[in-house]
Structure 1
Amino acid sequence: MEPPAGPFFPARHGSQRYVCYCGAEPGAAFNAYVTNASEVWSTDFNQEKLERHMAQSGISEDYSTKFREAFEHRTAALTVHNGRATLELKEDAWSLTFDLFKLPSSEARMRLQALMFGLMGCVSSLEKRLEAAEGAAAAAAAVCRSEKNQPRSQKLLMPDLSPRKNQGGGSAVLAKRRVPGESLINPGFKSKKAPTGVDYEDS
């Protein structure tokens, strides 16, 4: 027996808790189930019964889609009475009612085993997806931290080329101090003769 793929929905009736779910069976494309972890109720559809129910409901769309929509919107209602269960799905544009019948104990055990292994498969799949998502998030965070810290480190390593200002707010370029005897026209050339001044006697 193949584990049910779901969807799954937790429901209550009085003080009892139930799990509603659906799955495909040999000879039928769809069946709905309800269990309280000790007993199991089923729609017991074969292909003929399923087609008859779909014709009466006026809905030709896959019932699994309708169950998923109702379960996601939490518009499913369950009642259990006299060994039978009734599951109602209600949306704005449609409604469905399913009568479910209690399965014999031997078949109920098989269904519960299949349900347990199906839920284990769902949990394992979710854990793998969560682990992959956490790894991707950690890698993205590491890249963001690297990009955030990179300009700062480059700034610390680069020389400061910005112009410096003196205290008076003047030009940042400091004038080179002229050495006595150095030519004003040709900086760097130093006269070999000492300056003698102006001779006024010859004039």
Structure 2
Amino acid sequence: MEQDSESKSVLCTLLDKNDQSKYVFFTQKRSAGDVSIGFTNGEDVWKTCHSEENLSQLFKKFSLKSTEDYTFKLKCACKAGRAFVKLQEDSAALHLGAEPTDLSLSLLKLTDSEGKTEVKDLLFKMADSLQQLESQGSTSSFNPVKSPQKRSTEFEPRKQHKGPVVAVRKRFPGDSLINPGTKRKKPATGVAFDDE
């Protein structure tokens, strides 16, 4: 896969804010200046394509400067949890906000063979991007098997405390906890009377 086409595509997870369904959202800029946009639930794929004319109208309507701004806006809406999907029999509507002025897209459902091809392409795109991250050395902090929260900190250097340093006097056995400068008094044991 070419580096140039990789930088012009977007892959992210879309979580439907209404029913919490998960989708993989994707965009891809084509060589003719068109942008294809779609999402999949792993079984079905919905997709649309914007021509340059359609994109220029969207740029004016939403005050965008470039295709990258447009795809970034789509990605942010998906990641922020503002997006929701309305599925019909052979199409879908993707709404990227609750307001009527917010962006909404109409997408067509692909046939089974087209959908399988698209899911296959997405799978290889994801694998290529992971391989690219690995070759750049970025996977040292990312491991899909182990989550970063379960990472052991046993062998990592301790973080230095930043702030005023307060000298703590060592407490010796027998020192009072309440009044640290004095010795603790031993409890009375009573008087021992011996017969001798």
Give ranges in structure 2 of 5+ residues lacking alignment: 144-151, 160-196
Identical residues among aligned pairs (%): 20
The separation in 2 between residues aligned to 1:54 and 1:110, in whole angstroms, is 30
1:18 counterpart = 2:23 = yes
Aligned length: 141
1:131 counterpart = 2:140 = yes
In the alignment, residue 50 of structure 2 is paired with which amino acid?
Answer: F
Query: Residue in 2 aligned with 1:122?
Result: 129
- Please state how far the C-alpha of 1:118 moved relative to its aligned partner: 1.3
Question: What secondary structure does 2:49 align onto?
Answer: coil
In the alignment, residue 42 of structure 1 is paired with which amino acid?
Answer: K
Give ranges in structure 1 of 5+ residues lacking alignment: 146-203
Query: Residue in 2 aligned with 1:39?
Result: 44
Query: Residue in 2 aligned with 1:6?
Result: 10
1:64 counterpart = 2:71 = yes
Question: What secondary structure does 2:10 align onto?
Answer: coil
The separation in 1 between residues aligned to 2:22 and 2:78, in whole angstroms, is 16
- Please state how far the C-alpha of 1:63 moved relative to its aligned partner: 0.9
* CA deviation profile, 1:39-75 (whole Å, cap 9, x unmatched): 22112222223223434x3332421110222123221
* CA deviation profile, 1:125-153 (whole Å, cap 9, x unmatched): 4554131689xxx9xx66769xxxxxxxx
The separation in 1 between residues aligned to 2:15 and 2:93, in whole angstroms, is 12
The separation in 1 between residues aligned to 2:33 and 2:114, in whole angstroms, is 17
Superposed CA RMSD in Å reads 3.9
In the alignment, residue 98 of structure 1 is paired with which amino acid?
Answer: L
The separation in 1 between residues aligned to 2:121 and 2:15, in whole angstroms, is 19
Q: Indicate the structure with greater helix content.
A: 1
Q: Based on CA coordinates, which of the two structures has the bigger radius of gyration?
A: 1
In the alignment, residue 35 of structure 1 is paired with which amino acid?
Answer: T
Match of 1:28 among 16, 33, 48: 33
The separation in 1 between residues aligned to 2:80 and 2:22, in whole angstroms, is 19
Query: Residue in 2 aligned with 1:182?
Result: none
